[in-house]
Amino acid sequence: MDESWGGKQRWVRTKVDLDDHIIIPRIDPAAVECDPDKAVEDYVASLSMLPMDRRRPLWEFHLLDFPTSEATSTMVLRLHHSIGDGMSLMTLYVASSRSTADPARLPTMPPPPRRTGEIYQLQPRPPLSSGKALLAWVLSYLLLAWNTLVDCVFLAATILFLSDPRTMFMRSDGGLQAHHRKRFIHRNLSLDDVKLIKTAVKCTINDVLVGVTSAALSRYYFRMSAEKITLCGHPVVSMGSSVYGQPQALTVHYQNYGNTINVTLAVDDKQFPDCHELLDDLVESIRLIKNAAGLRSISSVHSN
């Protein structure tokens, strides 16, 4: 990027020096030995605070040559968005790779999906003789047009004078700081599990991922925003109540606090020598019931 041309940036041809783009950083050995995964996260987060040198091509390879819980080494590709978006860059990355089974062969790409499910089928217009069905069909399109118009008005109003409510998902500085530290974390999901849900509810993989994201954000938000209390300045993590002196060998109390339910057992040691196993059974029982309820919901959707 040449910034000397009338004070504006422009693309210019340049000679690429690989030493400027291939970086092998020195990371604290103690941090790597203590938690290599966190060492990778901390290093990548530090890159978000460093502006790129616009006097040379805006791409960098960072090689972290130490093992983590998932791999023997890590490669971080940092580049400007003007070079490409995520889809094109991943396509280029796959095209530059080779098959593990045959290093001389390009990786096999999956065939394009067949759009044959019910979700892709257009709803036919009801016959003119069916008055109620035709009216419902017309009203559905009018409702779609109305909702689209309302969304457009709210979008324009938000851009001009309205503002989104402050939540934990908005940056504290309002997005004004140019180089704001961000941490990049990841977790692998089972594609087979996603496909199972997709088949059960007759939708697309993207639909499943959107639903999972919505559910996860809701769980996180209500867990983090659940009202909790302090006692003499000390945060209360959990609370529970129980009794003793009763003739029963087992007393169960449930106490709701924040987004958790505390289960407190008052047990007779002689009758329940392995009382902690009873707590484990409680946790396992609610897990089994939750899974059964989820399967029943999926079965109901599938049958409908």
At 270-284, the pLDDT tens digits run 888 888 898 999 889
Tokens of residue 32, six digits: 């790597």
Kindly report the average pLDDT of the chain as a whole number.
Answer: 82
Separation CA 208–CA 170 (nearest Å): 25
Active site residue 21: no
- pLDDT (0 to 100) of residue 268: 86
Instruction: Exactly one of 62, 81, 276, 302 is catalytic; name it.
Output: 81
- Residues 217/220/222/223 CA torsion (nearest 10 deg): 170
Burial 4-13 (b: 16+ CB within 10 A, else e): eeeeeeeeee
The pLDDT tens digits for 171-228 are 666 656 666 777 888 888 888 888 888 888 778 888 888 888 888 888 888 777 766 7
Q: Helices (H) and strands (E) in the chain — how many of each?
A: 7, 7
Tokens of residue 49, six digits: 């605070």
Separation CA 176–CA 274 (nearest Å): 57
pLDDT-derived band of residue 35, with 50, 70 and 90 as boundaries?
Answer: very high
Q: What is the three-state SS of 96-136?
A: CCCCCCCCCCCCCCCCCCCCCCHHHCCCCCCCCCCHHHHHH
Closest CA to 3 of 56, 58, 54: 54
Closest CA to 237 of 253, 259, 217: 259
| Bridge partners, 76 (sequence order) | 62
- pLDDT (0 to 100) of residue 178: 65
∠ Cα 195 196 201 (to 5°): 100
Separation CA 226–CA 257 (nearest Å): 9
H helix intervals, the chain: 29-34, 36-47, 86-95, 131-160, 191-201, 205-225, 275-303
Tokens of residue 145, six digits: 């047009």
- pLDDT (0 to 100) of residue 245: 78
Percent of the chain with pLDDT over 70: 85
Does the pLDDT at position 46 exceed 80? yes
Tokens of residue 100, six digits: 């593990």
